[in-house]
Structure 1
Amino acid sequence: MTGTAHTTGTDLLVVGGGPAGCAAAVMAASVGMRSLLLEARPELCGRLRYVRSLENVLGGFASGPDLAASAAADVARAEGCRVELGARVVRLDVRGDRVVAVLESGASYTAAHAVVATGTGPLGPADTGWLHDPGGLAGAPLWEADPAAHEGRTVLVLGADRPLGTLLRAAPAARVRFLVAHPPADGYKTAEVRPDPRVELVSVRRVVLEGARRGVAARITTAAGDALRWTADAAYLNIGSAPVLLPGDLVPDSTGYCPPDRQHPRVHVAGDLRSARAQRIMTAMGSGGEAALRAYYALRGVPDRPE
């Protein structure tokens, strides 16, 4: 399969199998398009399965795993949609009237149009100017944390991004102390979690992680210039995310995101990859369906703005 280009019977490539990509595949099937969904993970909606509480989606879904299972089932029923899991796309190019997706394996697939829904990935300490973790003690992103595993313990949270509020809502009775160190720029994000008595917030200028007799320690210089030392049983990263870009013909803006109106007419961007301002499950799914419709109308020569 390595080095082989596959072109037969596909109108639309969908790169990314999160909520936006799944919605694109289902929409494409509903209008008779033949699609191929390429997802790097071993399952669809992999990150959604860690979201323990949902409050902003239709359909009565109370948790991410429930919605993920439903989305995967909808894709499985979508006529004309093929799915390849474990298919990591490493490059996307427009070549004439075709879009080519090159996989890590060396294989490639082509279609007339592509929906790109690669979303975002978590930032690491090296992406910040304030967090220093020479021993790699910070561990996993916060959205992977299980509060039940830390019952009665102290957790150090590095950054004040939205997953903290989601975790607190999902585990209202969990007896966990959360020590949250965040840069001043994240201060506006703390309003949601500040009233929770389990949370202690500090605005920081610098944090250095080091080993401790029990868990992890943090040497902190606060935004006011004070020195603190916190110890915790575990530490998690919660410093935000960055768009997952593909080399080739995607066009990012100055922030690294890919606005739909800047892309080649055969490349349709959906989901969190579009911008940092609308990163919600509902908006991702809607944009996935819209992106597939744009490809459908383009294939039939229907202009975006009818005259």
Structure 2
Amino acid sequence: MADTPPRTGSPATPVTGTDLDTDLVVVGGGPAGCAAARMAASVGMRTVLVEAGALCGSLYRVPVLDNVLGGHTGGPGLAAAITAELEGTGLCRLVLGRRATGLRAGDDRVTVTLDTGARVTAPYAVVATGVRPLQPRDVGWITAPTDLALPSLWEADASDAAGRTLLVLGGDRPVGTFLRAHPALGTRVLVAYPESDDYKVEEVRDDPRVTLLPVGHLVLGSAGGRAVAEVSDRSGGRRTVAADTVFLSIGGAPTAPAGDLVRDEAGYCLPADQHPRVLVAGDLRSARFQRIMTAMGSGGEAALHAYYAARKPPTGT
């Protein structure tokens, strides 16, 4: 099992109950938010970073990395390195264990309200709250009990799969990550995926443990203690598949705070649509570019945007 993130609210990661004013407020402590805070510190900006959990908490569930620089091959190592560097950055104040409940953008300042009622104000805000895992009830191509909650594939380890058949709903990147993390694991993986995931399954197509099931619609049930899925393919054919257990790999839903953020029909916050003082970074931007390296790059870019914008001479001077 992957290492667990550090407990929130420790003395090294203080939680504040008072109003704060700073140069930049960052909402979200994943790779994008941490990169924004680190970049801001490098150019002398004071930052308050608000995160409901632990810094880079989701990275602790990523066993294998192949798209980041710096020699990190696993999420826990990268998360620990990011956390150590950010905790040593004197210009960044960490507010962990607190959730941003609202964001308001004015002519000259952004106000972020926390679940304590406290407010953080700054000339600019970087919002990098990422996504939460979707459940079967959230997508139209799966029919399942409305109260069904399934684990995501990144929560699985070798003991969940050894000698067993897994049904994975969706073809998102965790399928490939899981298989690369356990290259010698004896398992059978049935990957049922909609047409929108066609391009995502290319990286696992040649793994002999994988059976790809292109799906038009899937009805999930159970029989005899096993998962049973009635699969309708895209040409009208039907088949029944059974598995020992089911995991999800169907993507995520954006988790932006309420307030002055412009969302598209899927809930993503496209950077170009936002108030000039609100900068969006990381997975919250779109479903397409959800990779750790691009998230970190977007966070750093957002902080630099705030830095240079704050130093731009007023129009007409």
Normalising by structure 1, report the TM-score.
0.90
Pairs within 5 Å for 1:63-212: 63-134=74-145, 136-137=147-148, 139-212=150-223
Question: 1:265 is matched with which residue?
Answer: 276
Where 2:215 maps in the other structure, the secondary structure is strand
Deviations 1:12-70 (A, max 9, x none): 110000001001111111111111111111x1111111111111111000011111111
Question: 1:6 is matched with which residue?
Answer: 19
Which whole-Å CA distance do the structure 2 matches of 1:67 and 1:212 have between them?
42
Q: Does the 8 Å CA contact 1:116/1:269 hold for their aligned counterparts?
A: yes
Distance 1:190 1:33, change over 3 A: same
Pairs within 5 Å for 1:182-261: 182-261=193-272
Which amino acid in the other structure matches residue 36 of structure 2? A
Consecutive unaligned residues in structure 1, runs of 5 or more: none
Aligned length: 298
Q: 2:63 aligns with which of 43, 46, 52?
A: 52
Question: 2:4 is matched with which residue?
Answer: none
Where 1:219 maps in the other structure, the secondary structure is strand
Q: Could you tell me how far 1:191 is from its partner in structure 2?
A: 1.4
Q: Could you tell me how far 1:278 is from its partner in structure 2?
A: 2.1
Which amino acid in the other structure matches residue 195 of structure 2? P
Normalising by structure 2, report the TM-score.
0.88
Which whole-Å CA distance do the structure 2 matches of 1:175 and 1:273 have between them?
36
Q: Does the 8 Å CA contact 1:148/1:174 hold for their aligned counterparts?
A: no
Where 2:33 maps in the other structure, the secondary structure is helix
Distance 1:211 1:245, change over 3 A: same
Which whole-Å CA distance do the structure 2 matches of 1:39 and 1:20 have between them?
12
Which whole-Å CA distance do the structure 2 matches of 1:234 and 1:65 have between them?
26
1:29 to 2:41 alignment = yes
Q: 1:39 aligns with which of 28, 31, 51?
A: 51
Q: Does the 8 Å CA contact 2:135/2:150 hold for their aligned counterparts?
A: no
Where 1:140 maps in the other structure, the secondary structure is coil
Which whole-Å CA distance do the structure 2 matches of 1:167 and 1:15 have between them?
29
Which whole-Å CA distance do the structure 1 matches of 2:37 and 2:249 have between them?
31
Distance 1:136 1:255, change over 3 A: closer
1:287 to 2:277 alignment = no
Which amino acid in the other structure matches residue 35 of structure 1? T
Q: Could you tell me how far 1:107 is from its partner in structure 2?
A: 2.9
Q: Does the 8 Å CA contact 1:92/1:248 hold for their aligned counterparts?
A: yes
Deviation larger for 96-105 or 63-72 = 96-105
Consecutive unaligned residues in structure 2, runs of 5 or more: 1-16
Where 1:102 maps in the other structure, the secondary structure is strand
Which amino acid in the other structure matches residue 6 of structure 1? D
Q: Could you tell me how far 1:224 is from its partner in structure 2?
A: 2.8
Which amino acid in the other structure matches residue 29 of structure 1? A
Which amino acid in the other structure matches residue 273 of structure 1? L
Which whole-Å CA distance do the structure 2 matches of 1:145 and 1:106 have between them?
37
Which whole-Å CA distance do the structure 1 matches of 2:42 and 2:252 have between them?
32
RMSD: 1.9
Which amino acid in the other structure matches residue 28 of structure 1? A
Which whole-Å CA distance do the structure 2 matches of 1:260 and 1:186 have between them?
24
